[in-house]
Amino acid sequence: MTKLLSIKNLTISLEGRPNTSPIVQNLNLEVNAGEVLGIVGESGSGKSLTGLSILNMLPKGVYISGGQILADSKDITKSEKKNLRAYRGELFSIVFQDPGAALNPSRTIGKLLSDVARAHEKSSKGIIRKKSIEILKDVGFPNPEERLKSFPFQLSGGLRQRVAIAMALINRPKILIADEPTTSLDVSVQKGILDLIRKRTIEDGIGCIFISHDLGVIAEVADRVIIMYSGQVVEEGPMASVLTNPKHPYTRGLIASAPSMKSSLAKPLRPIPGSLPPVGRTPSGCAFQDRCPEKALGNCNAANPTWSNDSSNQSHRWLCHSEVKK
Amino acid sequence: MRNFIRDKTLLFFSSLSMGIICIVAIFGPLFIPDPLEQDLINSMLPPFSQGHILGTDPLGRDIFSRIVSGARVSLIVSLLGMIGSLTVGTIMGLVSGARNKWIAWGSDRLIDIQMAFPYILLAIVIVSATTASIPVLIFLMVLAGWASAARVIRSIVLSERPKDYIKAASLVGANQKRILVKYIGPTLVPAIFTIAPLQASAMIVMEATLSFLGLGVQPPTPSWGGMLLEGKVYLSQAWWLTTIPGIAIAITCASLIGIGEGLSIKLRGDRRRRIDPSKTENLGSEGSAKS
Amino acid sequence: MKPILEASSVKKLFKGRGRSLDVMALNDIDFLIYPGEVIGIVGESGSGKSTLSRILVGIEKATEGQVLHNGEAVESPSDWQKLRLDIQYIFQDPFLSLAPHMTVGQSIRDGLDIREEGTPLERNNRVARTLELVGLKASDANSYPAVFSGGQKQRICLARALILNPKVIICDEIVSGLDVSVQAQILNLLVELNQKNGVGLVFVSHDLRVVKYLCQRIIVMHQGLIVEANTTEELFTNPKHEYTQHLLSSVPAGLSIAGV
């Protein structure tokens, strides 16, 4: 398993607001070739910012205040601006929620792809055209040779997202970040895109980070998952293990409150009481303490919780004070 | 930070300047020598002459006093004109936003006609039919100004109307009148406050123009436009007779426009949603599916 | 028992402007709901489900066909006013459906003010109680919508509908943009309203999982037509129409193995 990306102790803070807690705290994650890592979290969890920070695309007012992002044996956080441009596209690539926003409506599909390709490599028109057709075929785009001349508005949402993915993959990046790529698509279209992302990840040996608020979607597509709450990772591990055996109270709360194909009123949804801590005001100690129905031994706000590992699966671990083996 | 200063500066200085003009207009006439007093011996004195800081006109009247009393006249007339214009404009703008297609159409056409018609021509016609006097002047200003106010109001009404909260209002039973008054009405207030100074400045110019043409304030009542008219023939010999009232008009207009612009920048800034990291809905993506 | 709300042979045509084609958003739809039922309308984009929900409450006008209230055709504005005494509607986007310049209390109260129910003091009390019913604080009545989160705004809209004691509430994708835990709170609130207070619900959504949880009957819409209608259980275990089967197979099912 080649490790493509390693983030260590990443901390993202708000600029100029010294009394607020960081928006992302001490995040660690790794992505290997050919695997999809899912990041699940609700709003305010910091999941999108984590993705953006890898590409150094954090919005104004937010910055990386600590930690390292290691890829291709370099620390991205320490890179100079000019190298970052090269990384984006060749090393990393991103697909966003709204396919319409990524595609310039005044340019044809062919031009959009060649724009991206040419930003990183000067090739002849013919080679780029071949590359474009090939990548469109790879993403399951029907009739690519003819459709190169189409404009985004002529395509459906699903096709537009495929083009966006093609644009992200045309320069064969090592790491693909997908930030809620299917959230604004119809359910039947979503399935196709999820299958596509899995297929390309495995076949091209990419490391994919798939960010979503929908645990059900992540369950379909991810090999491993990290669960984020209020800027911290609270549980992580292989997808099946975390799903069948969730350990952290938040993960359990997420699963209990999410309707699934097996839901019915006979088994009511159990929402997590309370609401998320406002951004920048994560409580000290355990971030989840105010809402935890399984409050542990009074330690919750005194000290930071520590990692426990699942006895049956060492890579599945969670952050909690409670020593009761669940 | 830079934006903050720029927004506030315009509003601040314009308000300051307009404030000074208003104070001068209100209290000034109490402290100055009679603007009507003629003094043929001391006529045509340039600015900075003894006893006449801005000089005198061909009849020896003190320019400074005339500017100050003219200010009062111009400002009051313009203020009344602005209020009238905004009132008629708001009403017509609301009418143009009416549900009934024909009423709205009729109102729109009225607005179009009025905007297309050259107001000076209209002024000449009306003044010849009646007389040149201050009430007629105010009437002309309202006539000339209501349409542009109506257009602004109309566009706000039309853009608010299809919004969900208006539909929600009719769902709980609100009738058209209630919707216009209680739901759409308050959204018009910021716009009215922004157009008001701009209308006022247009009125100042209008008053000056009409008085200059002899259709507005009649002599001997001092008015800036009237002073322009009187000084016109002496342009090469006594520049101050026209330049000084001209400057007064320009400064007043600029101040009023500055207030209008400053207010609209301030309002736009409040509504502009800057990325506030403490509101996570603005960051990255939150699960929001299509409709 | 008569259906409390019904759509009969409803068609809706959106005329294309310029070179765009006409769109037949609804093609001969029949729909009905009895008092106390919870019905789900499921479909993807372009199915016409939102258009139907708007026509049912009169925000949109059908090109052909009728809406019936207690068996009687709704035609004049006063008919619609009567219908809206029984049927209320909640919009998808809570940001846009609350007047930004009115306090929460004013928005909720306006329906009562219009109907002149009780004294102003009584109306304020009802506002306070309804806010508490939906899980907010009575003091929230004095705040403006802007300070609330999406989930809270949606509760405010629910309160605004509830305070008029409707018999049916039409919910048009009301939880689609909300976090899962917030969504669950609102869904449970709806369940309670139906089971304790007998309020009927028409729940429009693209999310089959939510509809399965909440609804007793489901109709599936696709490109302006109802392709299948059945009880929830039957629909999920025995989908008859090809589109329904396709839809069901596309729903992310990963959570089904979850161990909670």
- How far apart (Å, rounded) are the C-alpha atoms in residues A250 and A235? 9
Beta bridge partners of A153: none
- From chain B, pick out residues whose CB is under 8 angstroms from the CB of C114: 172-174, 178
Given a contact cutoff of 8 angstroms between Cβ atoms, the answer to whether B183 and B169 are in contact is: yes
| Weakest-pLDDT range from A65-74, A223-232, C74-83, C139-148 | A65-74
* Stretch among A16-30, A157-171, A288-302, B229-243 having the lowest mean pLDDT: A288-302
Q: Which residues of A touch C260 (CB under 8 A)?
A: 246, 252, 255-256
Number of structural domains in chain B: 1
Binning pLDDT at 50, 70 and 90, where does residue B277 land? very low
Supply C191's token pair: 């369940």
C64-69 β-sheet, strand order = C23-33, C5-14, C64-69, C72-73
Distance of alpha carbon C55 from alpha carbon C89, whole angstroms? 11
Pick B278's closest partner by Cβ from A51, A52, A279: A279
B88 vs A241: CA distance, rounded Å = 71
Which residues does B282 contact at the CB level (< 8 Å), separation at least 6? B273, B275, B276
**Is B256 a domain residue?**
yes
What's the whole-number mean pLDDT along residues C28-48? 92
The complex's ipTM works out to 0.90
Distances (CA, A) of B115 to A157, B108, B124, B149, C162: 45, 11, 17, 11, 48
Q: Is B73 helix (H, G, I), strand (E, B) or coil?
A: helix
Q: Are B79 and B200 in contact (CB under 8 A)?
A: yes
- The CATH number of C5-250 is 3.40.50.300
Work out the minimum CA distance from A60 to partner chain B, whole angstroms. 7
* DSSP conformational letter for C241: S
Q: How far is CA C208 from the centre of its chain?
A: 15
Q: Which pLDDT value is given to residue B6?
A: 65
Evaluate whether residue B34 is within a structural domain.
no
Residues in chain B: 291
Helix C104-115 and helix C120-133, axial crossing angle in degrees, nearest 10: 130
- Chain C hits for B291, Cβ within 8 Å: 45, 50, 92, 173, 176
Residue B215 has pLDDT above 90, yes or no: no
pLDDT value for A260: 85
Q: Which of A62-76, B43-57, C42-56 has the highest mean pLDDT?
A: C42-56
Q: What is the domain-level CATH number for residue B102?
A: 1.10.3720.10
Q: Is the pLDDT of residue C258 over 90?
A: no
Cβ of A14 within 8 Å of Cβ of B277? The answer is yes
* 3 state DSSP class of A175: strand
Judge whether A253 and A290 are in contact, CB under 8 Å: no
Q: Mean of the pLDDT values across residues B261-269? A: 76
pLDDT tens-digit series, residues B60-79 = 788 888 888 888 888 888 88
- Taking residues B162-183, report their average pLDDT: 91
Do you find a cis peptide bond into B220, omega within 30 degrees of 0?
yes
Report d(CA A171, CA A135) in Å as an integer.
10
Please count the residues of chain A.
326
* Residue pointed to by tokens 């247009």: B202
Residue B286 binned pLDDT confidence (cut-offs 50, 70, 90)? very low
Subunit contact A261:C256, Cβ cutoff 8 A: yes
Q: How far apart are CA A140 and CA A193, in angstroms?
A: 9
Helical (H) or strand (E) element with A12: strand A3-14
Average pLDDT in chain B? 82
Q: Chain A 171-230, CB below 8 Å of chain C: which residues?
A: 186-191, 194, 213-220
The tens digit of pLDDT for each residue in B68-116 reads 888 888 888 888 999 999 999 999 998 888 777 888 888 889 889 888 8
d(CA A134, CA A160) in angstroms, rounded, equals 17
Q: CA angle A294-A298-A299, nearest 5°?
A: 105
pTM for this predicted structure: 0.83
**Cβ atoms within 10 Å of C196's Cβ, excluding its own:** 8
- Give the three-state DSSP class for C221: strand
Residue type at position B221: T
The band of C23, judged by pLDDT with boundaries at 50, 70 and 90, is confident
Measure the CA–CA gap between A87 and A71, rounded to whole angstroms: 10
Compute the half-sphere exposure of residue A244: CA atoms within 13 Å on the CB side of its CA: 8
- Please count the CA atoms within 13 angstroms of the CA of B208 that sit on its side-chain side: 22
Q: What confidence tens digit (pLDDT) does each residue in A197-253 have?
A: 999 999 999 999 999 999 989 999 999 999 999 999 999 999 999 999 898 889 999
Show the domain range for B237: 17-27+46-272
In order, the DSSP letters of C113-154 are HHHT-S-HHHHHHHHHHHHHHTT--GGGGGS-GGGS-HHHHH
Question: Using the beta-carbon criterion (under 8 Å), do A179 and B277 form an inter-chain contact?
Answer: no
**Residue A101 C-alpha, separation from nearest chain B C-alpha, in angstroms:** 13
Query: Which pLDDT belongs to residue B274?
Result: 41
